[in-house]
Structures are given as C-alpha cells and as structure tokens.
Structure 1
Amino acid sequence: MLSLRYCPNHNTFSAVLDSFCRMNAFRQVYQILGLMVGLGIELSVNVWTVLINKFCKVHRLDIATNLFYKMIRTGCSPNVFTYTALIKAFIESNMVNDALHLLNNMLSDGLDPDLVVHNVLIDCFSKAGMYEEAFLAFDGLAKQINIKPDLYVYTSLLRTIWRSERFDLLPKVVQDCRHIGPDLVLCNALINSCVKAGGHPDLAVAFYKRMIDKGFKPDKHSFAGLLSALCVAKRIDAAVTVYCGLVEKADAHIHTVITNGLIQAGQYHKAALYFRSVVDKEYPLDSVAYAVGIRAHLRGGRTLEANTLFDKMKDNGLEPNVQTFNMILSSLFKVKDRQTVKQLLKEMINSRIKLSDRNFFNLCNRNFFKDQCCFGICWLR
C-alpha cells in the first residue's frame, strides 16, 4: 500500500499496530507510530490504550509510561481502561505508590473506577500482601450505587480471605453472593472455604442446599465439600447417606474425602468399613486414598488389615509415599513384629524413604542398630 502511495486510514494503521504488538515487534510499532505522526493521523484513545496495555504485559513499564505521558501531550485523554492497565502493572511490579498516584489522577479527571478497576485493585493488592487495602477496595465497590460486585470480584475477595486468614468474613461473603448468577466454581470454593478454613460447616451445608434450589448441577467438588461439611458438623448418618448415593460413580477423591471426614469425626471403624468395601468392589483408588484408608484401619486398631492394604496398594502398582511407609512402620513397632520391621526398613532404604522423627526414636530406643539395614536407614536421615 505504501509503495503504491496509498495512504492507509486510521483503521488500517490500528490493525497493523495491533498485529505488531501481538508479535512483540516493538521496533516496528515505533516505526508505524512515527509514520502516523508524520502523516498527521491522530491516534485514538483506543489505540494508545492497546499499545500501553501491550507494553505492560511484557513488563516494559518504562515504555508504557512514556507512551502514557506522550498520549496526554498530544491532547488525547486517557480513559478508565488506560489507567487500569497501568495501575495493574505498577502494583504487580511492587510500585504501589505509583499505582495510587495514577488512581488519584484518574479520580481527578472525573473518571469513576468501574467493576474491572475494583477487581484489579482487590486482586493486585491481595497478591502484594496488602490485604487491608484489598478489603478497602471491596468496601468502596460495595458502596457504589450503579455497579455491584460480580463473581470475578468475589473470587478475588475469596482468595484475599484465604491469604489474610480473615475467615470471619466468610459468612458475609456467602450472604452477599445471593445476587450472583450461577457459577459452580465460585460456589464450590465458598463451600470448601466454609469447611476447611472458616469452621462454618452448617453454613456450607445451607449454601449447598441453596445451590440445588437454584438449579445447579453439583460436580465432584460440590459433593466433596458437602461430605466434608457433614462430617465436620458430626452429621455422620447424613454424610454416609450422601456417599452411598454416589459411591458407584465416585472417583478416588470422593472416597478419600469421606474416609478422611469419618476419621476426623472419630469414626475410625466406620471409615475402615466403608473403605474396605470400596477396595473389595475394586472401585478406582489412588495412593492418597490408600494412605487415608490405611490410617483409618490403624486408628481403629486393625493393624493386620492395614498391612494387607499396604501390600495390596503396592500390588496395584501404586507407590506409597513417605507418610504411608512411616505409618506402617510405626504400627509394626507397636506390635513388636521385629522381622517385618527389618523387611520394611530394607524396602525403605531401597526406595530412599526417610524415617519420621518418631520412628527414628523408636528405632534407637528398641536397639535395632545392630542390624546392618538400620545403619542404612539412619544414613538416609
């Protein structure tokens, strides 16, 4: 086009600039910009914003900032999206004061932060460890009349609550989320947060029921959260009923969750019973599920069955982890099975499994060092 002396219009230049930006061909970007200035073609705010955003994403804040002030000098006023790109980049680069300065400039220009700006502030402040500032940004959004938090904002807020350990805010978040449209990922995150971190199992169960009433189709993460909540709330019969209703289609994670939940509730025999049933029916299990199942048997005093599960786990081609090896070894110390202890220690040496502090103490206390294999396991520590 240029060689034929055609003069590209504004849209053509914008398309070419966008293409060079996507290719990170910034030398060509400057050439195109120079050509546009030479031809007297005015750059729109959208073009400036695209350029600034691209340089921010490749961590060239120096160039992005120069473009920003060059934009202002040419008489083009930044919009909310222009400010948002720079504010996000400054916070992610730990240049918080510069970000706040830009935010004040935006407010001075009469531009009100939109939903995207608030979400960027919450997310970036949270990642920077500035939790109070993140909560203040959310409070500022909550006071807005024209805009309301969406699921992205609540997702960022939920991450902030986890990082700051402000789990006392979870009930309020659950209450505020009533106006949010259906989003299964956020709902599952709220349920699991209420159980694992917030200590609000009843709230998690109530939220699950509300999900169902609204027409949600729960997935395995929803069921896992519900099972955990029921076990923590000591509603064992309800948890077992839910589990029995989905056991045939459950994956290893669900079996792990119910077994672990029953253990945490002190229901060792029931946990061992249901896990043994899963093993007998050859449902899919992974090494984590076996580790939890073995712990259930050991907690219930079923050492022989635990060792049988340990052998079956290895026969199925699953590699026991450090914790599983040490659980079995500890149980063997208790029953004083010296010969099996020696065999297991040799296996741990071959697999380069380190002893737990407790098992190391038992090994020393019981004078096992006379055996050569024990020197090997001590060397691994």
Structure 2
Amino acid sequence: MVGFFIKKMFTLRHFATSLKKLGKVKDLFDPKNPTAALQEYFKNPNDFDAVFLLNKKEINFYDCKRIFERVSSKRSVNTLTSMYFASKRTNQEKWIQDEYLEEVNQILSTLAPNEFKRISPTLWNMILNAMTTSPKFKKKAQFWYETLDNNLVPLSEKNKSCLLNSYCTSGNLEMVIRLFNQMEAPTIIDITKVTEKLIENYRLQDVKNILLEMSVSPDAILFTTLIKSCSKIKYLEGGKSIHRIIVELFPHLLNDITLITCLISFYSTCGQYETAIELFTNSPQKNIITWNCYLQALLSSGKIDLAFENFRRLAEPSNSTFVIMLNACISNNLFERGKEICGLIEQNQCKDPIVMNSVISFYANLGEVERSIETFYSFKNPDTPMCNTILKILFKDERISEAFSLFYNMMSTKQTSEVSFIVMLNECTNKLLKKEGEEIIALLPPLFECGLELRNSILKFYSVFKIYDRAKETFEEMLRLKNFDYISLISMLSLYSDGISLKQGIEIHQIAEKYHFQEIELHNTILNFYGKMGEIEKTFELFVDLLRREYPISIITWNVVLATCAQNGRAKQAEVIFDKMIEQGFEPNEETLLHMLSAYSHNMMPEKSINLYRELPSKYHIEPTIKHTACLVDGLVRSGLFEEAEKIIGDSKELILWSTYLGGCRKYNDLERARKAFAILKEIDKTDSSNYILLANIYSYFGEDLEVELLKKEMKSENAKKIPGVTTIEINGKTYSFVSNDKNHPEIKQIEEELMKLTQEMIDAGYEPDLRWVTKHGTFTDDEKKNLLCRHSEKLAMAYAFIHQPKGSTIRIANNLRVCGDCHNATKYISKVRNCKIIVRDASRFHHFENGKCSCGDNW
C-alpha cells in the first residue's frame, strides 16, 4: 500500500514536470507525443487523477472536458467541483448550468443524509449558488437547501441571499420567511425582496415589524419598491401604512423625487385622486414624470379641463405626456382636443412609435380609419405594437384579407410578438374564422412556451368552436404547468354549457373553489353554467350564497339568474328575484327586462307581459328594442292572442316579429293566419327555411300533402336549405350526436333493439304516435310514419342513453331545434315507464320530464 502511494506521488510529480515542459495538455492526446507512456496512462484517468488535471490552470476548457469525460470510475463530488472551477476559470458558464448541475444533482441524490456533513459548506455554497442562478435548477436549489437545513449543515450569508431571491421568485412565502429569519445580517437588498413578497401576500404587519427592527437604514429604493407592490395589487391600506412610516420615521426620504412620484402614482391607481393631487402640490421637486402622474390623477378624477390647462403650461411635454393626454381624449370622446394634441405632436416632429401608436388609435376611434391606416403606412419603421394596433383596426373595419396580409408580412420579417398572435386569434374567434384560426394556432410554439394570455386565447378559440378534445388537452396542460387563471376557467365552463356536459363543468367549478378564485366574472359564468344545464336549484343555491356573503355582485349576476328562471319556466321565482334586485338598488337594463318578458312568455302570462312592455320607457327609461317586442309577440301568440300581437307588430317588416307570429300559428295550427304571415315573411327573406317548415307542418297537420309537396319544391327553387335537427348527448365524457333516421351510428343495431322495447313499453302505457308530425317528403303508410317518428333524433339519443347509462339515472339531451309535439309527448311516457328524469334543452327552453309530466305544462 505504501509503495502504491509513493508510486502515485512520483507519477504525478513527474507528470507535473512534464506538463510544464509540454505547455499544453492537448499534447498528451497527440499520438506523436514522445511521452507515450504518460499519454497511455491518462487515456482512462481515475477520479484522483482527474481532480489533479482539472485544477491545472494551463489546461483549456476543451481539454478539461475531455479529461472529465474519460474518468473511468464513478465521478465523485470532488471531480465535479474541480470541473466547476475549471468552467468558471474558462468562462464556460453555460456548461455549468446545463451539464455540471445535472450530474451534481444525480450524485447528491445518491447520498445518505448522514453524508451531507462530509461535503464542506464551501462546496455546498458553490453548488447552491450555481443552482440558484440557473432557471432550470432553481427549484432543486430550494430542495437541497431544505435538505441541508433539516440536517444542520451551515450555509454562508451570500448563499442564503441567493436562495432568498430564488424563493421570492418562486413564490414560496413560508420558506422566504424561514430563510430570512435565519440570516444574521440581511442586506438592504434582502430586506427589500422579503418585504416586497410580504406585501404581495397582504402581510402588512410582518412588513411593519421588519421595517421597525431592521439594523440597516432603509433607503428610498426600499420604500419605492414597496409602494409599487401596493400599487400593483391596489393595496390601499398597505400603501397608506408604509407612507405613514416614511412620514413619521424617515421624513428625509420624502425629498427623493422618485419616491414622491411613486406615491402620487399609487394613490391615483387606488382611486385616491385628491391625495395624489395634494402630494404633487406640496412636493418641492417636480420632474416630467411627476407631472405625468399628476396629469393622470386629474384626468382620472374627472378634472379634465384642469388637466388640459396644466398640460398647456408644460414647456417640454414628454412622449409619455402626449400618450396620456391622447388616451384621455380617446376614453372621453374629446375629439377636438385630441386633434389639438395630434397637431402638437406633428409640430414637434415626434416620431416616437409609442406616441404614433396612440395617434393611430385616436384617428381610428374618431372614425377616420383611412387616416389612421395612412399614418401607419407613412411611418418608415413601424414597431410591433404599432402593427398590432393596426391589425385590430383592419379587423374592425372588416378589411380581413389586408389584416392577414400584414400579419404574414410581420411573420416573414420576424416582427411578430406574442401579442400579435393574441390579436389574430381573438379576431378569428370573434369573426368566427375557424379555418384561419387553426392556421394561426399551427404557427405557434409548444404550449409551455406560450404566455398565459395567449393560452387563454387558444382556449377561448377551442371553446367557441366547440373543439372539445383540443380544449380539454390545452386546459390539462395548463393545469400541469400550474399556469391558468379565472379566464381559463370561464372558457372551459362556456365550452361545457351545452346542456349535456354536467360532470365536466362540475370539475371546473371544483377547481375554481380549490384555488379560491374570487372574480365576479367567474362566479357569473358558474351560475350561467348551472342555469344552462337546467340545474335550477343549484343556481339558486349558489346565488343565495353570494348574497349571504355580501359578494360584490353586478347587474350581470342578476341577469344570469333571471335568464335561468326564464329558460326553465320559473316566472314566479323570476318576479321574486326581480323585486329583490330593485330593493337592493340595482337598476334593470335591457337584458334584465328581456328575461322578465321571456319568463312571462314561457308561462303564458300575457297581461304581465303587456304591462311590463308598456312600463319600459315610462318606469325604467328604456326604449323597447326589437328583441323586447318579439318577446311580447311570443307571449301573446303562445296565449292565442293573435289580434293583440298583430296590433303590436303593426306595419313592421321585421323578420323576427313575423317568424315569432308564425311560430304561434303552428302551436294552434291556425292555417289562415299562418298563410298571411308566411306571405309577409317571403317578402322579407325567401331563403329562411324555418318559415317553410312551420307552414309545411301546419299543412301536414290537416293532411294537405299536396301543399306540403309544393312548399318543399318552392324551398328548393329558392335555395332555402333546411337545417337538420341534431340531438347531442354526453356519455362517459364523450359527446354523441344523432340525426333523424340515423343509420350510420356504429351501435345502430343495439339502438334499434332498445327503441323497439321502449316503444312497446310506451304503447302499453297509453302512448299513441301523432302521425301529423311526420313532415318528411314522400307518401308513406301509417306504419311507415310510425317508424319515422320512432327514429327521431331525440328518441335515438334516449335509447342510446338507456343502453349505456345506469338504470334510473338522469338523461340530458340537447336539440338545436324546438322539440316536436310527438317527441315531447313520447318523452313524458318514457320518463314514466323507465322511472327516470329526462332534461331536454331545445332551441327555446328547458323541459324537465319526470313521472309522465313536463315542467312546461305542455306550453312550449
């Protein structure tokens, strides 16, 4: 053993001498090297040899890496440490982050807890320092710190400071506080980071304690940072408390113009405009940034004239000043003053892209779209924000091809930003451009590289176009990345508000509760979801809970609940909620009163409909829109009051009014009035197929087959294409669609067998098919007509549900058209013979079938 160490020492000493002579270690790997024995020995160096070699300053990084890679035995922490220093010495920081840390992490993972103390604190500090500066290994640094902390391994103050920054970035508040309390002498930078994180979590008392007990003197940067944090989350109480501390304990810092400016901006952001104005007035020092904050406070407080008066006093307004004033003109429709500012901008020969972006927006809002576009194209080098603004303007002006042309030009010049994709995708969603939107999505990087706003735009696109699989896949990825917000949940709930996807929507609701989202927009969407699923009691329960908690609900919240009442035929509950809304000081808007009229209509309460309609202008100061009038007409014709409906319609040639009237004729099979309404509707629009279908149904009811044939020929000649009835149902998380007489479903044989059984059960219970609801083209026998009725899409969907759903479970189906009379009657029998609840959402309302009865009372 002694001989081995003597030999090793001799070899290394001899090697060191040879190394000095050779000058460069790369010669060791050169076949022409005269010291061939030495070269052979170090072809496969062991760990000990590698440590020696890697610490030689003469060796460049490339050769160090070759040596490191040739270590034959398992690499130790010492080898890696030497390689780390070699990397630092040769300025190869990227290798440290990408390769070194991965190996260190693997080696550390193999150590037992009692071995941690054998690694020196210096080495630990070096490892953790490298990890905390690497985005990829920040969380690992935190993990190893907690491991060390549990095993009582000391760390340097510098390393604690690095870790503190890492924890602040990751948002682990508990570890931030724990680590900060272990620091013997935190610097002003450490204190700033910790107090900022505490403010973000509304831990005001902890911030006060730190500020009052800190051993170093606070500076203006610390307080500026804290005030900015309060401003960011509109934490008025926190900002006011910190301001008080400055005034009482550190008044000399109020001479710092940056801090004063920050305070003015904070109070303005939190709506305390008078305080902001007072601070500005009393401030001994003012610069252009302070003036801009002051002008913003004046504008936000409604003191527009005073703001413009002060603006004119400025000798040299900055670019930001122009932007603030011009944006105020846009927000307040001050077009003359906006033109004045545009003139000043032109006079100053300002070519700042941010200012010009505001100019372009101003002209577009003024209605001078051409001038806006000309201004854009006259700019030699428009930046990306300017391009994004003009994209919105082009879409708004329906110049869609021009917008796409500009976007793809931006792509070719690598001028697009994430905002560009957001603009394009949102506009494709709004304009219902499915194909174009999918092409935009195909250009995007992987989802994990996209920001939250872009992910939400993708999610909304999938939601609007009902692309269930892609939406689900996108949302699950966002959950995995823990990068989603209330807007993400709104899109998913909107996707599942289809009348059938109750289970999926409930899961989204549970996520909202788990993460304690408080936004009223999300609560409104949750209420809307349950309402559109026909879950009336759940909607009421959640709404009452919001009222009990004195949640800051809006008129939209009331409207959602009233819409639920209307769609489910709950007029009495709607009246109670409406009265409660008025009692709490909410003023009804157009939508509120539309829902009330709809509730009265579905419950055949014509007198209340008429009274409310008359009160719209006199009591609620709202002029009736065409939708209000159509709703009243609907309520009248449902009740058979055709003459009253005609008086309301008068000489109007509005399509919606006469088609609603024709719908009432179908309910009562009033052929004479139907013909009159149809003649008027043909004058308005010959291509609307629904009007032909309604009249054909009435003819069919009276057995006028020849008239039905003539109508269908006329439909064809006028190119009035019939919208096929589609019924959808959700089974085990998958959506299935059926059309009448569907023969393409893979399980059609089982469905037909189930239908035969079901039909016989219904007939035994007293059901008789209403053959007058057969409107299919052609001449059929009674048996053929019965078969056609049996194969309506609603019945096919229910048969499929009985095959796959547990016995007695609720069946939910959605139909894109109004349910036909025979299907409505049949569903009542089905609910009775199969002892189950069936919820049908058609184009008009919800029908809740149970024990042979429907919630609509056969008035639909």
Whether TM exceeds 0.5 here: the answer is yes
SS at match of 1:291: helix
- Supply the distance in 2 between the matched residues of 1:243 and 1:379 (Cα, whole angstroms): 50
- Supply the distance in 2 between the matched residues of 1:349 and 1:113 (Cα, whole angstroms): 65
Shift of 1:230: 7.3
CA contact (8 A) 1:150 1:180 kept: no
CA contact (8 A) 1:201 1:229 kept: no
AA matched with 2:184: G
**Aligned to 1:208, which of 208, 211, 214?**
211
- Supply the distance in 2 between the matched residues of 1:106 and 1:236 (Cα, whole angstroms): 48
TM-score w.r.t. the length of structure 1 is: 0.66
- Supply the distance in 2 between the matched residues of 1:67 and 1:205 (Cα, whole angstroms): 55
1:142-201 superposed Cα distances (whole Å, 9 cap, x missing partner): 1222x33443233322332354xx32x224322432231222221122122333x44434
CA contact (8 A) 2:227 2:263 kept: yes
Shift of 1:86: 6.6
- Supply the distance in 2 between the matched residues of 1:361 and 1:162 (Cα, whole angstroms): 38
Shift of 1:379: 4.3
- Supply the distance in 2 between the matched residues of 1:238 and 1:128 (Cα, whole angstroms): 35
Match of 1:246 in 2: 251
CA contact (8 A) 1:192 1:225 kept: yes
Shift of 1:233: 5.4
SS at match of 2:319: coil
Task: Please show how residues 301-316 of structure 1 align to structure 2 within 5 Å.
Answer: 301-307=302-308, 310=311, 315=316
Residue ranges of structure 1 left out of the alignment (5+ in a row): 1-9, 18-26
Residue ranges of structure 2 left out of the alignment (5+ in a row): 1-12, 39-47, 88-92, 380-385, 387-860
Shift of 1:207: 2.0
CA contact (8 A) 2:25 2:58 kept: no
Q: Does residue 367 of the first structure (1) align with residue 367 of the second (2)?
A: yes
Q: Does residue 180 of the first structure (1) align with residue 183 of the second (2)?
A: yes
Higher alpha-carbon Rg: 2
Q: Does residue 151 of the first structure (1) align with residue 157 of the second (2)?
A: yes
Structure 1 residues 239, 192: closer, same or farther in 2, change over 3 A? Answer: closer
1:221-241 superposed Cα distances (whole Å, 9 cap, x missing partner): 233245457773515654444
Shift of 1:136: 1.3
1:25-81 superposed Cα distances (whole Å, 9 cap, x missing partner): xx84549999xx99xxxx9999756437985xxxx2x422345578999xxx94785
Match of 2:198 in 1: 194
Match of 2:145 in 1: 138
- Which segment drifts farther, 178-187 or 348-357? 348-357
Shift of 1:129: 2.3
**Aligned to 1:170, which of 170, 173, 181?**
173
SS at match of 1:337: helix
SS at match of 2:82: helix
Match of 2:323 in 1: 326
1:227-272 superposed Cα distances (whole Å, 9 cap, x missing partner): 4577735156544444445367632321222122222332122112
- Supply the distance in 2 between the matched residues of 1:201 and 1:155 (Cα, whole angstroms): 22
CA contact (8 A) 2:165 2:193 kept: no
Q: Does residue 222 of the first structure (1) align with residue 234 of the second (2)?
A: no
AA matched with 2:273: Y
Shift of 1:92: 1.6
CA contact (8 A) 2:167 2:176 kept: no
SS at match of 2:353: coil
Count of matched residue pairs: 331
- Supply the distance in 1 between the matched residues of 2:135 and 2:243 (Cα, whole angstroms): 42
Structure 1 residues 336, 133: closer, same or farther in 2, change over 3 A? Answer: same
AA matched with 1:155: S
Shift of 1:293: 3.1
Q: Does residue 115 of the first structure (1) align with residue 115 of the second (2)?
A: no
Shift of 1:299: 1.6
SS at match of 2:154: coil
1:69-105 superposed Cα distances (whole Å, 9 cap, x missing partner): 78999xxx94785265379874423565434455568
Shift of 1:311: 5.2
Match of 2:294 in 1: 293
Structure 1 residues 258, 53: closer, same or farther in 2, change over 3 A? Answer: farther
Structure 1 residues 284, 226: closer, same or farther in 2, change over 3 A? Answer: same
- Supply the distance in 1 between the matched residues of 2:201 and 2:124 (Cα, whole angstroms): 25
- Supply the distance in 1 between the matched residues of 2:83 and 2:279 (Cα, whole angstroms): 57
- Which segment drifts farther, 358-367 or 248-257? 358-367
CA contact (8 A) 1:122 1:134 kept: yes
Q: Does residue 269 of the first structure (1) align with residue 274 of the second (2)?
A: yes
1:347-369 superposed Cα distances (whole Å, 9 cap, x missing partner): 58633334687874552242346
CA contact (8 A) 2:276 2:294 kept: yes
Task: Please show how residues 2-151 of structure 1 align to structure 2 within 5 Å.
Answer: 28=23, 30=25, 48=53, 50-51=55-56, 55=60, 60=61, 62-68=62-68, 78=78, 81-82=81-82, 84-85=84-85, 90-94=95-99, 96-101=101-106, 103=108, 112-126=118-132, 127-145=134-152, 147-151=153-157
CA contact (8 A) 2:267 2:273 kept: yes
CA contact (8 A) 2:188 2:216 kept: yes
CA contact (8 A) 2:96 2:130 kept: yes
Match of 1:3 in 2: none
Match of 1:21 in 2: none
Structure 1 residues 115, 265: closer, same or farther in 2, change over 3 A? Answer: farther
CA contact (8 A) 1:259 1:271 kept: yes
Aligned-residue CA RMSD (Å): 4.7
The structure that is helix-richer by fraction is 1
SS at match of 1:148: coil
AA matched with 1:200: R
Relative contact order (alpha carbons < 8 A, sep ≥ 6): 1 or 2 greater?
A: 1
Match of 2:350 in 1: 350
Q: Does residue 255 of the first structure (1) align with residue 260 of the second (2)?
A: yes
- Supply the distance in 2 between the matched residues of 1:313 and 1:142 (Cα, whole angstroms): 58
- Supply the distance in 2 between the matched residues of 1:251 and 1:53 (Cα, whole angstroms): 52
Structure 1 residues 113, 201: closer, same or farther in 2, change over 3 A? Answer: farther
What is the percent sequence identity of the aligned residues?
10
CA contact (8 A) 2:246 2:254 kept: no
SS at match of 2:237: coil
